[in-house]
Protein backbone atom coordinates (compact mmCIF):
# COMPACT_ATOMS: atom_id res chain seq x y z
CA UNK A 1 0.00 0.00 0.00
CA UNK A 2 1.29 3.47 -0.88
CA UNK A 3 0.56 6.14 1.75
CA UNK A 4 -0.47 9.63 0.62
CA UNK A 5 -0.39 12.84 2.65
CA UNK A 6 -3.30 15.28 2.59
CA UNK A 7 -2.26 18.96 2.52
CA UNK A 8 -4.04 21.56 4.68
CA UNK A 9 -5.92 22.49 1.50
CA UNK A 10 -7.29 18.94 1.11
CA UNK A 11 -5.03 18.08 -1.83
CA UNK A 12 -3.12 14.88 -2.55
CA UNK A 13 0.01 14.30 -4.56
CA UNK A 14 0.09 11.02 -6.45
CA UNK A 15 3.54 9.56 -6.89
CA UNK A 16 4.87 8.81 -10.39
CA UNK A 17 4.67 5.07 -9.75
CA UNK A 18 0.92 5.38 -9.02
CA UNK A 19 0.29 7.47 -12.14
CA UNK A 20 2.35 5.05 -14.23
CA UNK A 21 0.38 2.10 -12.83
CA UNK A 22 -2.90 3.82 -13.74
CA UNK A 23 -1.61 4.74 -17.21
CA UNK A 24 -2.09 8.45 -16.56
CA UNK A 25 0.04 11.01 -18.41
CA UNK A 26 0.57 14.67 -17.40
CA UNK A 27 -2.47 16.76 -18.29
CA UNK A 28 -4.87 13.82 -18.32
CA UNK A 29 -7.85 13.55 -15.99
CA UNK A 30 -8.59 11.09 -13.20
CA UNK A 31 -12.00 9.78 -12.14
CA UNK A 32 -12.84 8.73 -8.61
CA UNK A 33 -15.86 6.70 -7.57
CA UNK A 34 -16.98 6.97 -3.95
CA UNK A 35 -17.80 3.48 -2.74
CA UNK A 36 -19.56 2.21 0.39
CA UNK A 37 -17.72 2.00 3.72
CA UNK A 38 -15.63 5.11 3.01
CA UNK A 39 -13.69 3.53 0.16
CA UNK A 40 -12.91 5.09 -3.22
CA UNK A 41 -11.89 3.75 -6.62
CA UNK A 42 -9.43 5.76 -8.69
CA UNK A 43 -8.84 5.34 -12.45
CA UNK A 44 -7.77 7.20 -15.55
CA UNK A 45 -10.67 9.11 -17.10
CA UNK A 46 -11.50 7.82 -20.56
CA UNK A 47 -12.30 10.84 -22.65
CA UNK A 48 -14.64 10.71 -25.57
CA UNK A 49 -12.59 10.84 -28.75
CA UNK A 50 -13.72 12.17 -32.09
CA UNK A 51 -12.49 11.49 -35.59
CA UNK A 52 -10.83 14.91 -35.55
CA UNK A 53 -8.58 13.73 -32.70
CA UNK A 54 -6.84 11.48 -35.23
CA UNK A 55 -5.73 14.43 -37.38
CA UNK A 56 -1.95 14.50 -37.50
CA UNK A 57 -1.59 11.23 -35.60
CA UNK A 58 0.78 9.77 -38.19
CA UNK A 59 2.59 13.01 -39.00
CA UNK A 60 6.33 12.33 -39.34
CA UNK A 61 5.70 8.58 -38.98
CA UNK A 62 5.55 7.61 -42.66
CA UNK A 63 8.94 8.87 -43.93
CA UNK A 64 7.08 10.88 -46.57
CA UNK A 65 5.21 7.86 -47.95
CA UNK A 66 1.50 7.97 -48.67
CA UNK A 67 -0.11 5.01 -46.95
CA UNK A 68 -2.90 3.05 -48.55
CA UNK A 69 -5.99 2.08 -46.59
CA UNK A 70 -4.74 -1.51 -46.65
CA UNK A 71 -1.38 -0.44 -45.15
CA UNK A 72 -3.18 1.53 -42.43
CA UNK A 73 -5.43 -1.45 -41.61
CA UNK A 74 -2.38 -3.72 -41.39
CA UNK A 75 -0.64 -1.29 -39.04
CA UNK A 76 -3.76 -1.06 -36.86
CA UNK A 77 -4.09 -4.85 -36.71
CA UNK A 78 -0.40 -5.23 -35.84
CA UNK A 79 -0.63 -2.58 -33.09
CA UNK A 80 -3.76 -4.26 -31.68
CA UNK A 81 -2.06 -7.66 -31.64
CA UNK A 82 1.00 -6.16 -29.95
CA UNK A 83 -1.17 -4.43 -27.32
CA UNK A 84 -2.94 -7.72 -26.62
CA UNK A 85 0.38 -9.38 -25.82
CA UNK A 86 1.34 -6.75 -23.23
Confidence grade of residue 48 (pLDDT, cut at 50, 70, 90): low
Q: What is the phi/psi pair of residue 77, to 5°?
A: -65, -40
Per-residue pLDDT tens for 17-27? 888 888 888 88
Contact of 45 with 32, CB cutoff 8 Å: no
Contacts of 75 (CB under 8 A, 6+ apart): 67
Average pLDDT over residues 6-29: 88
Write the CB contacts of 33 (distance below 8 Å, at least 6 apart in sequence). Answer: 40, 41, 43
pLDDT of 56 higher than 60? yes
The chain-wide mean pLDDT, for the chain, equals: 82
Element (H, E) at 48: none
Average pLDDT rounded to a whole number, residues 36-59: 78
**pLDDT greater than 60 at residue 37:** yes
Q: Where are the chain's structural domains?
A: 56-85
Amino acid sequence: MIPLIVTPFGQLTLFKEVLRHLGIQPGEKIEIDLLPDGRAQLRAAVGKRTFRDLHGLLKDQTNGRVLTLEALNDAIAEAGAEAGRG
